[in-house]
């Protein structure tokens, strides 16, 4: 295990920024953010995990780190996104407890499925296993994912996001973001130039289709019943894609933005998974 702070790592001729906090000799917990957020979305969670003795590693992922913003859609295909995380774990030189939210959850499922030797435990927040998500698209999930089609339009979402208080800001608030989170979206994503890269994850979907095997590491799936993006069906299907100890934890009355809005719950759930204690199963 790396005994010095990791502030960046490289993969695919790109350089990624990393926030490395907590005791250097603590168990490694890697946290993968979603859209449209960066490593800062984990601040509340990492503070609690650090206080409990864990070393947290939160990267700004592909499209978000200033040194890792390729332009081609195919550069955001899932195999490349997953390989970035593999490169990070190689840099850390030890297996990790992997946590992902939103798109970060999709990547975490993929890495855990294809590289179980690198992953000690998995905590997936909001987004289910890729195969479970695809099954759910035959039902109500399709309606909840209509926005993904709009994100395929070149330059249009970027233009809509330019105006403070405009369409994009209102859409974020409508899906549960608080004013401070919308302000962070505007500063860290729009003004910093990370929006095209973040949208690249959606635009890379046509290049991403690959089967994702079952996960064979201890796993917790976390979902909130107030999530406006993810239908419950895909969450319930997840049990079919885990061949290891598995838990589903449902947070009642919470929105999609669990790491920033419910850090106490998320940190406690991660710790229960890491420490092998039972969680409340719904």
pLDDT at 162 over 90: no
Dig out the tokens for 164 from the structure.
């403070």
pLDDT at 281 over 50: no
The predicted pLDDT at position 261 comes to 98
Q: What is the pLDDT of residues 98-146, one digit of tens each?
A: 999 999 999 999 999 999 999 999 999 999 999 999 999 999 999 999 9
> Beta-carbon neighbour count of residue 43 at 10 Å?
14
Q: What angle do CA 85, 91, 93 make, to 5 degrees?
A: 105
The predicted pLDDT at position 166 comes to 87
Q: What is the mean pLDDT of residues 259-265?
A: 98
Phi, psi of 165 (to 5 degrees): 80, 10
pLDDT at 57 over 80: yes
The predicted pLDDT at position 282 comes to 42
Dig out the tokens for 166 from the structure.
């405009």
The predicted pLDDT at position 277 comes to 64
Sketch out the chain's domains with CATH numbers: 8-275 (3.40.50.1820)
Nearest to 71 by CA among 161, 196, 209, 188: 196
**Contact indicator for 46, 23 with CB cutoff of 8 Å:** no
pLDDT at 268 over 80: yes
Query: What percent of the chain has pLDDT above 70?
Result: 98
Read off the pTM.
0.96
The predicted pLDDT at position 280 comes to 45
**What mean pLDDT is reported for the chain?**
95
pLDDT at 279 over 60: no
Per-residue pLDDT band for 278 (boundaries 50, 70, 90) equals low
Q: What is the pLDDT of residues 65-86, one digit of tens each?
A: 999 999 999 999 999 999 999 9
Q: What is the mean pLDDT of residues 220-247?
A: 96
Q: What is the mean pLDDT of residues 250-258?
A: 97
Nearest to 154 by CA among 224, 93, 202: 202
The H or E element containing residue 141 is: helix 141-144
The Cα–Cα gap between 95 and 108 comes to 13
Task: Give catalytic residue positions.
Answer: 102, 202, 256
pLDDT at 167 over 80: yes
């Amino acid at each position: 295990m790396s005994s010095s702070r990791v502030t960046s790592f490289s993969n695919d001729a790109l350089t990624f920024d990393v926030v490395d906090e907590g005791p250097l000799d603590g168990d490694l917990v890697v946290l993968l953010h979603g859209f449209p957020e960066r490593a800062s979305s984990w601040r509340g969670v990492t503070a609690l995990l650090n206080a409990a003795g864990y070393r947290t590693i939160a990267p700004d992922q592909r499209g978000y780190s200033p040194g890792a913003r390729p332009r081609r859609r195919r550069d955001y295909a899932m195999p490349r996104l997953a390989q970035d995380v593999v490169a990070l774990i190689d840099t850390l030189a030890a297996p990790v407890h992997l946590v992902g939210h939103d798109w970060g959850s999709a990547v975490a499922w993929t890495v855990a499925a294809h590289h179980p030797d690198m992953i000690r435990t998995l905590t997936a927040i909001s987004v289910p296993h890729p195969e479970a998500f695809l099954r759910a698209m035959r039902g109500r999930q399709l309606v909840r994912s209509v926005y993904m089609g709009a994100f395929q339009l070149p330059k249009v979402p970027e233009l809509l996001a330019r105006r403070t208080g405009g369409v994009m800001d209102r859409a974020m608030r409508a899906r549960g973001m608080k004013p401070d989170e919308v302000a962070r979206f505007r500063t860290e994503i729009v003004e910093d130039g990370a929006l095209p890269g973040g949208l690249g994850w959606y635009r890379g979907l046509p290049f991403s289709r690959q089967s994702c095997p079952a996960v064979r590491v201890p796993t917790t799936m976390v979902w909130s019943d107030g999530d406006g993006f993810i239908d419950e069906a895909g969450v319930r299907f997840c049990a079919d894609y885990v061949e290891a100890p598995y838990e589903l934890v449902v947070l009642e009355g919470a929105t999609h933005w669990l790491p920033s809005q419910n850090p106490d719950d998320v940190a406690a759930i991660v710790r229960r998974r890491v420490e092998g204690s039972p969680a409340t199963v719904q």
